[in-house]
């Protein structure tokens, strides 16, 4: 009985880890890395998903605005069996399109406008945070495992 409850909620089930090289640059338009699957109990993974999300923040105080964009995603239906106390390493390559803001487009028009673009970005308190999110759909489990990796 306890085993069925553990399987239902994913306790001692599949765990995910993301590995990305330290020399990764967002301007390349491609992320290569490895997704590690491990489990304390035998499980079957039905689908995998990896997304690159951008969290764009601008403004201060009451006028602060936050938007989240999906820059690229990779979804795959699989039938991977992860045995108990086993690790499975899956390499991946995620291509994405970089999103440019109005301030970025303004500052790219001319090298003379670049300092004004930086000043506008600073005065608007605009910043972006990039997160790589991996998730798996596991057979017989209601709470899917998920991992987040903040990229610098």
For 81-128, write each residue's pLDDT tens digit. 999 889 999 999 999 988 777 777 777 777 887 888 877 777 777 888
Task: Indicate the DSSP class of residue 97.
Answer: -
Q: Which residue has the higher pLDDT, 114 or 43?
A: 43
- For range 52-63, the mean pLDDT: 89
Residue range 27-31: average pLDDT? 88
Q: pLDDT band at residue 47, thresholds of 50, 70 and 90?
A: very high
Q: Which helix (H) or strand (E) holds 140?
A: none
**Dihedral sign for Cα atoms in the order 149, 32, 52, 152:** positive
DSSP secondary structure of 48-60: EEEEEEEEEEE--
* C-alpha to C-alpha distance for 73 and 13, rounded to whole angstroms: 24
Question: For residue 139, which of 42, 51, 49 has the smallest C-alpha distance?
Answer: 42
Which 3 state secondary structure label does DSSP give 44? Answer: strand
> For residue 82, with 0-12 CB atoms within 10 Å meaning exposed, 13-18 middle and 19 or more buried, which class applies?
buried
Give pTM, 2 decimals.
0.81
Is residue 141 within 8 A of residue 43, CB to CB? The reply is yes
Query: How far, in Å, CA of 28 to CA of 35, rounded?
Result: 20
């Amino acid at each position: 009985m306890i085993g069925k409850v553990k399987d239902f909620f994913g306790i001692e089930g599949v765990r995910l880890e993301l590995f990305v090289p330290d020399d990764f640059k967002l301007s390349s338009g491609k992320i290569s890395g490895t997704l590690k699957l491990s489990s304390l109990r035998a499980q079957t993974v039905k689908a995998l998903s990896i997304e690159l999300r951008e969290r764009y923040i601008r403004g201060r105080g009451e006028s602060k605005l936050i938007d989240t964009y999906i820059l690229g995603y990779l979804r795959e239906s699989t039938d991977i069996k992860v045995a108990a106390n086993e690790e499975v390493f899956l390499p991946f390559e995620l291509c994405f399109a970089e999103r440019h803001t109005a301030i970025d487009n303004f500052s790219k028009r001319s090298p003379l406008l670049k300092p004004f673009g930086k000043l506008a970005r600073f005065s608007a308190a605009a910043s972006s945070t990039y997160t790589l999110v991996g998730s798996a759909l596991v057979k017989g489990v209601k709470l899917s495992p998920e991992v987040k990796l903040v990229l610098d």
